[in-house]
Amino acid sequence: MTDLSLSSKNPIAVRTDALVVATAKTSDGVAIVADHLPAELVTEIEAIAPQLGITGARDEVRKVPAGPRLKADVLVLTGLGERAEDGTFAPEILRRAAGAATRELSGVASAAVSLPATDDTELAAVVEGSLLGAYRFDRYRSGDDDGAKAPVGSVEVLTTLARGTKAKLAVERAGILAGAVHATRDLVNAAPNELYPASFADAAKAAAKDVKGLKVTVLDDKQLSAGGYGGLTAVGQGSSRGPRLVKIVYAPAKSAKGAEKIALVGKGITFDTGGISLKPSASMETMKSDMAGAAAVLGTMVAVARLGLPVAVTAYLCLAENMPGGKAQRPSDVVTIYGGKTVEVLNTDAEGRVVMADGLASAVEDGHDTIIDIATLTAAQMVALGPYTAGVMGTESVRDEVKAAADTAGELFWPMPLPDELQANIKSKVADVANSGPRWGGMLNAGLFLRTFVGDTPWAHLDIAGPSYNEKGAHGYTSPGGTGVGVRTLVAFLENRAAK
């Protein structure tokens, strides 16, 4: 990962390949948001900005010669958009601007970032963005014939706050978070012939091995069948590569005796063909990403342990491959979930909620006080909220806590209801519940299905189907492919709980 450090050096005198400063949109053009730059240079750039296509818009990155007044080779201008009414820029705006700049600096050995961060919260956002933007997935490249280059080698964030204790802690936290997000992205981007339930379980064990405080237990397909995990067993039986349930326990000594226990449950369908209810070919192209929820949970657990948060957390990674093999489950099958509830399978492409039911029921049995699940669960989430905003639903208090954590983290989540009036949509004629309902309210129908398996336990469900995988061009600190969404929100949620 890119090396990052803080410095209180004068940006004018810093010797670096690229000096990053901010631009902003104004009523009459563009402004350079960098008081430390020579006034003559600022005036020159602002004057020729229209000819250079510089507008100050968000996600806009432009490179210009630094000139003799600076020690840097290139001056990089990253857009912040318009100022807020109070004249400031929100932390997420700074995070995105820093990430957009470092993302555009691939192949550069060193960069210095000088953005208008006036307090520790804003500085933390700049540091996070700088690291999140410096990512590339090249595992399967045999060379650089595609023109892609390695992420920027090192980043020096220039700030008057550099010597403060909070600033140093912010750098440490940002490094841990970015590492967790990058690891999550790597898993989501991995090819499905390489990442399947057993190898995902191995990856979880390998990730936990290097982190103090994590204990991993894996149940294989035979153990799942014998133990009554009917959801995982049914979904995975159509594949030659059997399902797995990975349980990761973090129980730090610093957590108070009798303190609450939190469970994180992640959907891990390593490839989803739809099963017998086969998807159209075009709809399968990104289905290697159907395990993004489980990947986010794994990344969160590693981050929480490395941060040393004084809160007890247990993760349940529900891993299966949904294939239409000769032993695959059929529409009309009835499946018995862990704990005894039965599910009528009306659509084998509504498999994620079925494997999650096993994980949720197990988390309830283990006595957790709060449960959060995260899953690429429904295409209806994208219909309702688009490709960038995730849905969060469940117990209102927990749902609202998650939304607040997401706002702090800079991830887009939107609270959704779970109306009792829709419960009839998942009523089965032969079993306790059906795994599929009508098209209308599909995201909410899935949420209601999951609620069946948590009982009275406070719970939130995060549907990240859209924002988990970026099918379009890069933006901000987000590259094409796996985004790692959810990790920062879950960590912020757990930090808030730990602070209580």
How close are the terminal C-alpha atoms of the chain, in Å? 32
Amino acid making up residue 425: N
From residue 31, give the alpha-carbon distance in Å to each of 88, 123, 126, 438.
Answer: 14, 21, 19, 52
Judged on CB neighbours under 10 Å (0-12, 13-18, 19+), 84 is exposed
From residue 303, give the alpha-carbon distance in Å to each of 52, 250, 259, 310.
Answer: 42, 11, 20, 13
Give the residue among 18, 38, 40 at the shortest CA–CA distance from 105. 18
Q: Is 349 annotated as a binding residue?
A: yes
Q: Is 351 annotated as a binding residue?
A: yes
CA dist 163 and 187 (Å) reads: 36
Enumerate the β-bridge partners of residue 482.
Answer: 469
Q: Is 290 annotated as a binding residue?
A: yes
CA dist 214 and 309 (Å) reads: 12
Report the DSSP pairing between strands 110-113 and 18-26: parallel
Q: Is 215 annotated as a binding residue?
A: no
Please count the other Cβ atoms lying within 10 Å of the Cβ belonging to residue 110.
Answer: 18
Amino acid making up residue 21: V
Active site residues: 279, 353
CA dist 421 and 6 (Å) reads: 54
Q: What angle do CA 26, 29, 30 make, to 5 degrees?
A: 70
Query: Residues annotated as binding site for Mn(2+)?
Result: 267, 272, 290, 349, 351
Question: Binding-site residues, please?
Answer: 267, 272, 290, 349, 351
